Amino acid sequence: MPRLKNRSTPTVVLFVAALTGALALWGFYSSDGAAKARERDARLAAAQEGDTRELAPSLEIEAEIARAVPSVEIVELAGRLEPVRSTWVSAEMAGRIVSVPANEHAPVAQGEVLVELDSALPRAELIRAEASHRLAKSELERQRRLGKRSVASEAELDSAIAEERRTYAALLEARTRLEHTQIEAPFDGLVNALDLDPGTYVQPGTQIAEVLDLSVLEVTVLVGDRQVGSLAPDAAAKIRVDVLGDAPFEGRIARVAGAPVDQGSRYPVVVELSVPEGAGESRRPRPGMVAHVQFEVGRAAAIRLPARAVLDEFELQYVFILDAEDRVTRTRVSTRPVAFRPDRVEITDGLEDGARVVVTAVDQLRSGMRVLVR
């Protein structure tokens, strides 16, 4: 029987060769894809970790040079006007009121009689004291003449001198008692209170009238510990009274307390306001009116930046500083607000003078990022 040829052998060889080539090609493409995937994953991980150094700058920002400059802060505080001088005039002696020449709520001049007491007894005492003093002076002169002739003794002369001094003191006392029957205004001002009628009997120390000096008023305000060090006596201040319009009055600092009055570290500062001469009733400040005092408070040199330059994270503040290659570095700082300037903040710590600080798009920045500076 003839032997058959095996025709399947070449087919098998070709199949094996094709399969081997396919496997090799698949391995090539598979390894190339894995390498690309690994490279892609590495770049993604680097981006997630904030490593942007190899990326070209694409974010445009604005920057500002940090400069420490002295500043002047306007501080405004409120208080009530009070007279610099006010006093209750009291009776110096007992007596019955015979007349009340002054009127309540009326102006008075210094020395003007407010209340007059009965002067009959003090006047009689003065006449008696004057007579006693004249007699004592006459006796003293006689003893001196006798002494020159060696007729009077030295003891008699000394006794005459003492009597003259005693009667002179009694005379002065009588004059003073008579003067006290007229109760006068101690200075120019306004009678704020006077509620006594003729016939009223008063004792020494009885309050007769309250007199206010309205030529100079004062207002006491409480200044914080950060501003009080910049204030000194005689420094100028502006005072605005609510009910008298917006035009301010010129004032001056009279006194600055050396110690705070409460736990809030607030110091009393007294500011005086001299009422302008000729001021009409519509522009006359009065006690009890609310006044707003403005001080110019100088402060040491400080760095101030736009508020938008500060990044707030978890109650901490940061700024981004540019280096020579326009890369940013996040830096922690301490800040405080600027009075009457909500768009600015003062840097109190963490930033050096002359640094370039990013002032826009800070929420899009990360340390190490390169930026385009406009």
pTM of the model: 0.57
pLDDT number for residue 44: 46
For residues 125 and 174, give the distance between their C-alpha atoms in angstroms, rounded to a whole number. Answer: 6
pLDDT number for residue 28: 44
Q: Which residue type sits at 8?
A: S
pLDDT number for residue 151: 78
For the chain (length 374 residues), average pLDDT per consecutive 10? 46 54 50 49 49 64 91 86 95 96 94 96 97 95 87 86 96 96 95 94 96 94 86 91 89 92 86 82 87 83 92 95 95 88 91 95 94 92
Q: Give the Å distances, CA to CA, from 319 to 19, 261, 325, 354, 355.
A: 63, 38, 17, 14, 11
| Structural domains of the chain, with CATH | 60-70+301-373 (2.40.420.20), 74-81+213-299 (2.40.30.170), 119-179 (1.10.287)
Classify each residue of 14-39 as buried b or exposed e, where b means 16 or more C-beta atoms within 10 Å of its C-beta: eeeeeeeeeeeeeeeeeeeeeeeeee
Q: How many CA atoms lie within 13 A of 260 on its CB side?
A: 12
pLDDT number for residue 53: 46
pLDDT number for residue 21: 56
For residues 131 and 124, give the distance between their C-alpha atoms in angstroms, rounded to a whole number. Answer: 11
For residues 97 and 108, give the distance between their C-alpha atoms in angstroms, rounded to a whole number. Answer: 19
Tokens standing for residue 92: 């110096």
Q: Give the Å distances, CA to CA, from 219 to 115, 146, 272, 286, 290.
A: 31, 69, 7, 11, 9
Q: How many CA atoms lie within 13 A of 103 on its CB side?
A: 3
